[in-house]
Structure 1
Amino acid sequence: MKPEREFVAERVVANHCAQLLRPGPSQGELVTALTRAAERLAREMAGALAGLLGGEEPLVECSRPERTVYSDYATMQVMGHRNLGAYTLFGAGQANDRILGMVAGEVVLRLVDRAFGGAGVAPQQLPRELPLSAQLMVQRLEGLIAGCLAAALGAETTDAIRPLRREGNIDHLAPFGNDEPIVALVFSVTEPGRPAWAIEMAFPYDTLATLFANGQRPPASGDHAPADPREAPFADVPLPLSAVLVDIRLPLAAISALEVGQILPVPVARAVPLCVGGQAIGRGTVGTVDDRLAVQLSQVF
């Protein structure tokens, strides 16, 4: 069948915007987005670990992201932790995108000893498998990591990150393919008078692409850069900085019975939060300088 006339387009063919057709984030952009999220995750972990460790927030610091492949990462795990650890495969979102979390078996046993009133000492001869009491501690750590990661990523629900499988041996868990590229993070946990320990996490790039597909890319060329707080007109804006030395809670009955001269014992935290407008921006250690009370900064968020 031959048409009687040639068809002519009534409209100009669409010219698609280059920004709309921009490819997904590069691996470098994904690592940058993960670095920012890891800083938020460290702050979330510090608050959540306080309840597990006796009430005082530890210092949680995150390492720089390390790009590697899973086979090399697994080999280092076996060498560093004698293949005894709490390895958990987490799922993110409806597709259960994979995330690996790990706490060394020796650390889990020390936490169990503290939970039962001990000094936090692990046996010199580690068992081949974690006992039941340690498995219960691992479940608490899994819930803590999942909740903190969901909060750091801005998830709308607390169950956005879920533990899927758990093993005491990383080879039994096999969370990723041997040649799969991943990005590893180490969160060091430091408490006064105790040995430091770590929570480790590993993310494959496909998971990062899902987590940071929206809203995590650097601004496109031509966008305005963020204002510099060290330049006018913002540099001279006065902001009250408060250091919360003491924050105690008393029942209403005790407050109503307060009298002049009464002494209230108040514990001064070792890590004092520094706040601007009710938002914590760092932590410091209380001390003295020239017979005046002072705070030495130990962490800036």
Structure 2
Amino acid sequence: MVNAEATTERRSRDRAPAAHAEGLGAAKLNPFGDLHTLQHLSARFARALRGVFEPLLRQEVRAWAEPLVVQRFADYRSERGDALTGWMPFGMVPAAAGAQALCVLDGRFVLEMLDLFFGGTGAAPAELPAEFSPAAEALAGRIGAVLATPLRAAWEPLTRIEFSPGRCESSAAMLPIDGDDAMIVTRFGIAAGDGSPVFLDILYPVVGLKPHGATLTGKVLDKAEADPAWRTALTRSVMNVRFPVRSVLAEPVVPLSLLVNLKPGDVIPISIGGDVPVMVGRDRLGTGTVGTSNGFAAVRLTAIAQIDDEGLSA
């Protein structure tokens, strides 16, 4: 069954928070200093993982963020060992020097979800294969595509980064990442029922986050409701947006023969009905009656059109 009791230990090292892990060489690997802000973003992303994996696992899951660490990619690969693993690069826009994030999927977990997808019980082979089948690669790609949206949303309060998943590889050697590259490792636990958790890792290259260094060291505002002062200021700004309002008094239809023979002084007859349309941009605001007000031509609104859920389009 998916998330049944694990037969092998997935990680033996005690993962200390990066901000206090002196043994990781934080002064050299981590130029950002305090990474509590990124830990906060990871917690936001963890809350969205239930909606990603519950449809795949067909049961409720628990998801949480583990303390993050900063380490060289070669050390990370060594810790994972030779077990089947899905390595999926995520393009980041904007990012420095074309750097990519990396989503790391537990191979057994992918095969369990694949068995569930095809109507099985969520069982994986006792002995894992050396690489993924085309079906497993397709499922991993589907997971990556779904993860991109909540990952982008998790970063939204801090900065706008677009994530685009690439091809899932069974071997880390196929990745365009050097072993000496410094990576920020964010880990997420996923557990279904009372079973043991599996872990999903998102790795961010330190060089790729350098354009966002100023915001990474700032504060993140994370509230269920928007800040009242910000909402009030936004409302006032929106209320000052100007829209062109026009009224169509007449739209006569004439043959081409009349148009080509028109000359100054000719008259095109029009007829104005009782109500004329009043437009805002390309949308009908309502109808009104043509008249005068304070010596100027004017339209008195007699009816307001029903506005659909999308509202007026500029």
TM over 0.5: yes
Aligned with 1:39 (options 25, 39, 43): 43
TM-score of the pair, normalised by structure 2:
0.55
Aligned with 2:117 (options 102, 110, 115): 115
The structure in which a higher percent of residues are helix is 2
Matched residue, 1:287: none
Aligned amino acid, residue 27 of structure 1: F
- How far does residue 116 in structure 1 lie from its aligned partner after superposition? 1.5
Aligned amino acid, residue 51 of structure 1: P
Matched residue, 1:136: 138
1:66 aligns to 2:69 (yes or no): yes
Alpha-carbon separation, structure 2, partners of 1:113 and 1:53: 10
1:151–1:218 Cα change, 3 Å: closer
1:89 aligns to 2:83 (yes or no): no
- How far does residue 139 in structure 1 lie from its aligned partner after superposition? 1.1
Aligned amino acid, residue 126 of structure 2: Q
Q: Contact (CA 8 Å) 2:84, 2:106: kept in 1 or not?
A: yes
Aligned with 1:105 (options 104, 107, 118): 107
- How far does residue 26 in structure 1 lie from its aligned partner after superposition? 4.6
Alpha-carbon separation, structure 2, partners of 1:213 and 1:145: 26
Alpha-carbon separation, structure 2, partners of 1:98 and 1:143: 15
- How far does residue 149 in structure 1 lie from its aligned partner after superposition? 0.7
Query: Considering only aligned residues, what root-mean-square deviation do their CA atoms show, in Å?
Result: 2.7
TM-score of the pair, normalised by structure 1:
0.57
Structure 1, residues 69-126: CA drift from partner, whole Å, max 9, x if none? 111011112x2xx342110111111445310111111111011111122121100121
- How far does residue 216 in structure 1 lie from its aligned partner after superposition? 5.1
1:52 aligns to 2:56 (yes or no): yes
Alpha-carbon separation, structure 1, partners of 2:162 and 2:66: 24
Alpha-carbon separation, structure 2, partners of 1:145 and 1:68: 23
What secondary structure, in the 3-state scheme, does the structure 1 residue paired with 2:74 have?
Answer: helix
Q: Contact (CA 8 Å) 2:185, 2:204: kept in 1 or not?
A: yes
1:129–1:215 Cα change, 3 Å: closer
What secondary structure, in the 3-state scheme, does the structure 2 residue paired with 1:166 have?
Answer: coil
Structure 1, residues 30-53: CA drift from partner, whole Å, max 9, x if none? x22210110100011122222222
Alpha-carbon separation, structure 1, partners of 2:160 and 2:125: 35
1:28 aligns to 2:33 (yes or no): yes
- How far does residue 194 in structure 1 lie from its aligned partner after superposition? 3.6
- How far does residue 201 in structure 1 lie from its aligned partner after superposition? 1.4
Q: Which runs of 4+ in 1 moved over 4 A?
A: 155-159
Q: Contact (CA 8 Å) 1:83, 1:170: kept in 2 or not?
A: no
1:207 aligns to 2:237 (yes or no): no
1:192–1:158 Cα change, 3 Å: farther
Aligned amino acid, residue 38 of structure 1: S
Alpha-carbon separation, structure 1, partners of 2:159 and 2:116: 31
1:217 aligns to 2:218 (yes or no): yes
Matched residue, 2:148: 146
Q: Contact (CA 8 Å) 1:34, 1:208: kept in 2 or not?
A: no
Aligned amino acid, residue 205 of structure 1: V
Alpha-carbon separation, structure 2, partners of 1:151 and 1:218: 17
**What count of residue pairs does the alignment treat as equivalent?**
189
Matched residue, 1:189: 190
Alpha-carbon separation, structure 1, partners of 2:38 and 2:159: 20
Larger radius of gyration: 2
- How far does residue 178 in structure 1 lie from its aligned partner after superposition? 1.7
Alpha-carbon separation, structure 2, partners of 1:141 and 1:47: 12
- How far does residue 215 in structure 1 lie from its aligned partner after superposition? 7.2
Alpha-carbon separation, structure 1, partners of 2:64 and 2:38: 14
Alpha-carbon separation, structure 2, partners of 1:178 and 1:215: 24
Matched residue, 2:128: 126
Alpha-carbon separation, structure 1, partners of 2:134 and 2:158: 33
Percent of counterpart pairs with the same letter? 24
Matched residue, 2:254: none
Aligned amino acid, residue 119 of structure 2: G
- How far does residue 172 in structure 1 lie from its aligned partner after superposition? 2.1
Alpha-carbon separation, structure 1, partners of 2:161 and 2:53: 18
1:131–1:159 Cα change, 3 Å: farther
